[in-house]
Structure formats: C-alpha cells, structure tokens
Amino acid sequence: MKVLSYPNPFLRHKVKPVNEITDELRQAVAHMFETMYQAKGIGLAATQVGIDQAVFVINLTGEPAGEMVFINPELLDAQGNRREPEACLSLPGLEAKINRSAAVHVRALDLKGEPFEMEESDFPARVLQHEMDHLSGVLLIDKVGPAARIGLRGRLKELEQRYRPDDED
C-alpha cells in the first residue's frame, strides 16, 4: 500500500459508505496503519491509498493503544473556529494555515461494527476534520484563501511535475 500524491485524481474521489465489515476491510485497515506509520503520519484516509470506502485511521499518541478506526464517520456538530497550520501525507512538503472548527462531535463505526461517538477539540478535532474531508475528495489546499493559494502555487506545480501515475499503481 502506498500513499497517493497530489495531483492523483483519486484524491478528489468521494468514497462509498461501508456496507459490511469484512476480513478484507480489516486487512486493509491494518495495512493503512502500517502505511501511515511508514510515512510518519498521524492520520490516513482510504482515498489516500486508493480505497473507495468511507474509512480512516488515526493515532495521535504513536502507541498501539492510540489506534482508532472510523468507518462511515459523520460530523454531528462543530463549534468555534481555529486557524492553525496543517500538512498532509498526500501533499508532501506543503503546509498551510487552515480554518477549522475548534470542537467537533463525530459518530462512526469501529472495526467490530459497533457505533461510537466522540467529542474532541483543538488538535484532535482538526485531525478528524482533515481525514473526513479526504473521504469527500477535499484537500487542505481547497481550504486556503486566494492569497495563500498563490503562495502555494510553486510547491503545487512541483508536485504536479513530479507526478507519475504509474508510480502509484
């Protein structure tokens, strides 16, 4: 499994909901965690590895107990606003200040198919929103203002020039 890089068109893909939690999905989730750790990330959405399902994984602690899987996540509530820097494994070398809700309430299924809800604020809320955006085909560069977009143009152009679809198959 490999992290897809911008401008891979699959990163713009809106995923399908998970209808059944299968052994194949469990195996894909295990590979997603491995891929995320190899890339030194803290979150990874299915679209970032070419999987057409509403799933993402996060680990904010780096410890095995910190691993969380979100299947068919829903944002139930969002409050406040914070502007903080963000980066993305699919946009290597790029960082931008993004406006996000300061606190969120999310519902999802775990790998056993059990529903759970969580309320997070600050950095964990930011990570949840970032990964949920990926499942809708939204990248952090879509969240920046016009002036910031101009500032990122050079790095985006580099990524576009380096992009080779065959490298990610």
Q: Is 131 a catalytic residue?
A: yes
What digits encode the pLDDT tens for the residues 8-40?
999 999 999 999 999 999 999 999 999 999 999
Given 84, 86, 117, 131, the catalytic residue: 131
- Altogether, the residues listed in the chain come to a count of 169
Q: pTM of the predicted model, to two decimals?
A: 0.92
Question: What confidence tens digit (pLDDT) does each residue in 95-121 have?
Answer: 999 999 999 999 999 999 999 999 999
How many folded domains does the chain comprise? 1
Amino acid identity of residue 23, one-letter, is D
Banded pLDDT at 127 (limits 50, 70, 90): very high
Residue 83 sits in which domain range?
A: 9-168
Task: Note whether residue 2 is domain-resident.
Answer: no
Report the run of H or E that residue 75 belongs to, with start and end: strand 67-79
pLDDT value at position 163?
Answer: 83
Residue 4 lies in a domain: no
Here the CATH number for the domain that contains residue 107 is 3.90.45.10
What residues contact 84, with CB distance under 8 A and at least 6 apart? 97, 98, 100, 123, 126
Copy the structure tokens of residue 136.
């809708």
